[in-house]
Amino acid sequence: MNTMPRRGIASRARELALASLAVVLLITPAWAHVGNPDVYFQGTAGPYHLIITIRTPQMIPGTADVEILSATPGISKITVVPLYIVGPGAKYPPVGDLLAQAKEDPQYFSGTIWLMESGSWQVRVQVEGARGAGELAVPVPAAARRTLPMQRSLGILLFALMSLLVVAIISIVGAARREATLAPGELPSAERSRRGRWMMLGTAVVVFGVLYFGNSWWNSEASAKARQMIYKPPPLDVSLEPGGKLLLKMGESAWHRTRPETVMTTLMPDHGHLMHLFLIREPGMDRFYHLHPQIVPLEPGLHAMSGISFETDLPAIPAGRYQVFADVVRVSGFPDTMIAEIDLPNIPGVALTGDNSAAASSPLPADSARANGNADPSSARGPHGAVAATVSVTPDGTTAILPDGYEMIWERGTAPFTANHFIWLRFRLETPDGKPVSDSEPYMGMAGHAEIVSSDRSVFAHIHPDGSVAMAALELAQKNSAQGNAAPNALAGVNASGEMGGMEMSMDPRSAEVSFPYGFPKAGEYRLFVQLKRGGTIETGVFDTQVLP
């Protein structure tokens, strides 16, 4: 099995999760999502290792679903409480809500919590059990994503009642004009009937006019409220400067500015960089770049609110239209992923250095003909006309053969993936002769990175073995935690046999395997870019998968 249902847990799913339990890292990265509202996290609360899913509401205020699976037996009670990461209230949580323990699986707990405002929240998890007590805090960026439609049955009922009132008002006014001054039993004359009909017509015009203008006013107020409440990332302007330098200008965000205490606008580094930039060529997603622009110093006299700019020298990039995803984290712990598009010519570029990386692969199957037909023949070439080395994938889609001969294997099983179900994404890196690599090393302090993109680019996720929370937010949350012991404390991975021994044994930073907790948010076709580092080389495997409804 590869999936775990959202509601109810079978023991089979629990066994898989425990066998696949992959790891605790030194740090956790930015929650970098487009179309991925749910939070996935694994960490320790005292002696207990927990796998946590938090499904945030579409509208704020709203209720979030919390699901916790413990890899450690003996837990008798789990309580959760939401509070802001920063501010006075972060240190004084109220009494938590008790999660329900599943009868069929005592290591599975679930419940709901209220999130009353948009902003950078944490969910404080307190655990009691046979091994004592423990606590951890999970960062949860919460924001209204859409206005919820009215229930169809309620809409029909209200429309029927409104129609009844309209007919009643028109009829009453017409009857009053026609019969109000008649003596009992006297029938209205033709003239009175005619005046009554005219009065009904005039009343209908007035009533429908009131309804029309009232509806326009209501829509205007609703739109203004939606603009204030519905989250939108800051606008991002991307341009190519002389010399092959990419300039990125963050626009001003009114949504952020109106929430200075719970979101704020100042940026802070996340695992060493203020911005993580991803360029993916459309439509086939056959070129991928993970770069780290530097902030451009403000000119004298300008304030930070005037906008923040980043720039980076581009590596060798073939011509095409590129989707841009830019991740930043704010000092409140709130993450933003800004999106844009840009047309780029062939760029000779500079050599990749530091944490920057790139990958070339074949286009998505559905876009192969279109991508190849629209591409410049030279667009498959790297600097100085050299053909770019590409990642090839075996017919079963589970093994990516990397340009240097190493192989990345996706241990995905045979069960299909379905939307909104928790899964483990497990990968193993092998040498050209088929042996697990022995020279694995952290990539920006983590055992691995995975970028997940839907074929229509409406979903983008940048996840890591600890899940989808922001390192900066995690550190802020742990400062206010009573025990402060939930932060990941070592790189880890499943051992070569796929089994999980003691906690110390699972924390080997040289492991050839890495797992990512995730849940695809909707059905469709996805491409995964999986990044591991060994012997000073950043290896990027490229995989495709279909997700069912």
Of 537, 534, 517, 506, the closest CA to residue 450 belongs to 517
| pLDDT at site 430 | 96
| pLDDT at site 373 | 42
Query: pLDDT tens digits, residue range 264-279?
Result: 768 888 888 999 999 9
Residues whose CB is less than 8 angstroms from the CB of residue 353 and which lie 6 or more positions away in sequence, other chains included: none
| pLDDT at site 325 | 97
Please state the rounded mean pLDDT for residues 216-223.
88
Calpha distance 242→239 (Å, rounded): 10
Domain coordinates of the chain in residue numbers?
24-142, 159-173+193-229
Query: pLDDT tens digits, residue range 392-422?
Result: 999 999 999 999 999 999 999 899 999 999 9
pLDDT band at 6 (very low <50, low <70, confident <90, very high): very low
Share of the chain above pLDDT 90, in %: 57
Placement of tokens 């530091």 in the chain: 354
Calpha distance 117→115 (Å, rounded): 6
Its sign, for the CA torsion 366, 372, 374, 375, is positive
Query: pLDDT tens digits, residue range 309-358?
Result: 999 999 999 999 999 999 998 888 889 999 999 999 999 999 999 999 99
Of 449, 531, 423, 528, the closest CA to residue 25 belongs to 449
Of 340, 285, 345, the closest CA to residue 314 belongs to 345
Calpha distance 445→504 (Å, rounded): 18
| pLDDT at site 392 | 93
Say yes or no to pLDDT of 484 above 50.
Answer: no
pLDDT: is 362 or 365 the higher one?
362
Cβ pair 170, 207 in contact under 8 A? yes
Say yes or no to pLDDT of 471 above 80.
Answer: no
Most confident residue range from 48-52, 150-154, 384-388: 48-52
Calpha distance 477→158 (Å, rounded): 45
| pLDDT at site 480 | 65
Calpha distance 83→106 (Å, rounded): 27
Burial zone of 162 (CB within 10 Å; 0-12 exposed, 13-18 middle, 19+ buried): exposed
Q: Which CATH architecture has domain 24-142?
A: Sandwich (2.60)
pLDDT band at 85 (very low <50, low <70, confident <90, very high): confident
- Which amino acid would we find at residue 296? V
Please state the rounded mean pLDDT for residues 230-239.
92
State the average pLDDT for the chain: 83
Query: pLDDT tens digits, residue range 17-60?
Result: 433 333 333 223 334 578 888 999 999 999 999 999 999 998 88
Query: pLDDT tens digits, residue range 277-322?
Result: 999 999 999 999 999 999 998 765 544 545 789 999 999 999 999 9
